[in-house]
Amino acid sequence: MFNKLIPISLIVLLSACGATQPPPYQKDRAPEDRDQYSGAQGMSQYQKDQSYLVKKELSDKCTTAKIDLAIAKSDKNTSDIEKQNALISSSCI
């Protein structure tokens, strides 16, 4: 009887360990909202998310600089025009 109890206990223990593992990352959230990553798949997704966030930040800066450039041109503000052109050249790809 003791010999049968050990394999059953081992199976229950191992299955319980697998049940407590969190998912590799929060798939149901946008990259901006994810804050939990685990395992190799989670770390891979973390790197993808960071790359996406950097590209998005640059894109947002580019868009803002273009809008500000249009405003500066309409106001004929040469110092702002130069400033926005510099931002555009550094943030727009």
Q: What is the pTM of this model?
A: 0.68
Q: How confident is the model at residue 19 (pLDDT cuts 50, 70, 90)?
A: low
Q: How confident is the model at residue 86 (pLDDT cuts 50, 70, 90)?
A: very high
The reported pLDDT for the residue numbered 15 is: 58
Comparing CA positions, the residue from 60, 21, 56, 53 lying closest to residue 40 is 21
- The DSSP secondary-structure symbol of 22 reads P
The reported pLDDT for the residue numbered 13 is: 59
Reduced to 3 states (helix: H, G, I; strand: E, B; else coil), residue 89 is helix
Please answer whether residues 43 and 37 qualify as being in contact, where contact means their C-beta atoms are separated by less than 8 angstroms.
yes
Please answer whether residues 50 and 42 qualify as being in contact, where contact means their C-beta atoms are separated by less than 8 angstroms.
no
